[in-house]
Amino acid sequence: MSRSSLGMFSIVEGARLSALGERQGEPLSPDQIPYVESGTYVAYNNEKGGVIRSLSEDGFVDLDSQVRGIPEWISAKAMVDSWLADAIIYELWVGSDGTSAHKIYYSDLPWPLGKILYLKQVHVVKQILGITKENAERREEEIYRNANDAFCALSTRLGEQAYFFDNRPTSLDAVFLGHALFTLYALPETSVLRSKLLEHDNLVRYTEKYKSELVDSSGSSSSGSQSQSDPSSSMPRRPSQWSSKPKSKPKREKTEEEKKFRRRAKYFLVTQLVAVLVFLSLLGGSDAAEVELDEDDDGADYD
């Protein structure tokens, strides 16, 4: 059993909260939804606007109580939730050749099922972003311009501070960190969005600081039983009963390309977890849960 991989499970305002990871000895599966729990209380990330909103409305913890009425904070949060989110899904599904998305999501599916599902998702994303044959070029320019404006505004706002507002973490910090981790470590090096983020040194330092403290530190604390796992792994193990099943054929050695895609896929689930829970640890005094990490899972949706 490893220590908390993201440093985000802790006692929060007197309530012991834990993320989906260790429940009755069965670690997180990539097809499960991140959640926090306290006793019989459970908040799922796909309900009521996500975990952060659920914790606030249900009286557990409110990250934004001191900044919710600040216009600048509202504007910054909206930019992250809309402009940066749009840019990420555009690059993943539309603005590239789709190799990364197909490899991560559909490579294990038989042809033509994988191809059909991939093309269907591309169509869905184009509908969400309002992209047609007639306006495709214009929409691409708008998406990248908005993302660049968001990075510029956030960089100016952050300056050399530890957090964006009020010298304390808010949901803006949590959500931006999730986006930034995904952009820097899940998107390919040729990504336009990634290059725009790299233009802002303070945003990159901010992301790397918390990645080092909350993500990488988990790898170095892995137990001896996980000595064969990648220290930078951020994908949880499959439930134990899955791994106990006999394998039909021996594992072949992975190519460097496959390893690269696998490492990117690991950040899909990490960014989900980070975006909703990573800063909760800063409001408490100690870790309250643990999560198993392994490199044997291929990926999870970024959503």
How confident is the model at residue 56, as a pLDDT?
A: 75
Q: Are 181 and 80 in contact (CB under 8 A)?
A: no
pLDDT tens digits for the chain (303 residues)? Answer: 222 222 233 223 222 333 333 343 344 444 456 667 767 777 776 676 677 777 777 777 777 888 989 999 999 999 999 999 999 999 989 987 777 777 777 777 888 888 888 889 999 999 999 999 999 999 999 999 999 999 999 999 999 999 999 888 888 988 898 889 889 988 888 899 999 999 999 999 999 998 888 766 655 554 443 433 333 333 333 232 323 333 344 455 556 655 555 555 555 555 555 554 555 554 554 444 444 444 444 444 445
In a domain? residue 294: no
- CA 140 vs CA 1, 120, 145, 146, 195: distances in Å: 45, 20, 8, 10, 15
Q: Is residue 257 part of a domain?
A: no
Q: Are residues 6 and 278 in contact, defined by beta-carbon separation less than 8 angstroms?
A: yes
Question: Is there a domain that residue 122 lies in?
Answer: yes
Question: How many independent structural domains does the chain possess?
Answer: 1
In a domain, 142, yes or no: yes
Phi first, then psi: what are they for 65, rounded to 5°? -60, -30
Q: Which helix (H) or strand (E) holds 234?
A: none
Structure tokens at 206: 């901010």
289 belongs to a structural domain: no
Q: Is residue 298 part of a domain?
A: no
- 169 close to 279: Cβ distance less than 8 angstroms: yes
- Kindly report the number of other CB atoms within 10 A of residue 119's CB atom: 13
Strands, sheet with 41-44, edge to edge from the N-terminal-most edge strand: 18-19, 35-38, 41-44
What is the C-alpha separation between 222 and 266, in angstroms, rounded? 16
Query: Is the preceding peptide bond at 112 cis, omega within 30 degrees of 0?
Result: yes
**Residue 296 lies inside a defined structural domain of this protein:** no
Please check whether residue 149 lies inside any domain of the structure: yes
Determine the pLDDT at residue 235: 33
Instruction: Please give the residue range of the domain that contains residue 105.
Output: 11-244+272-283
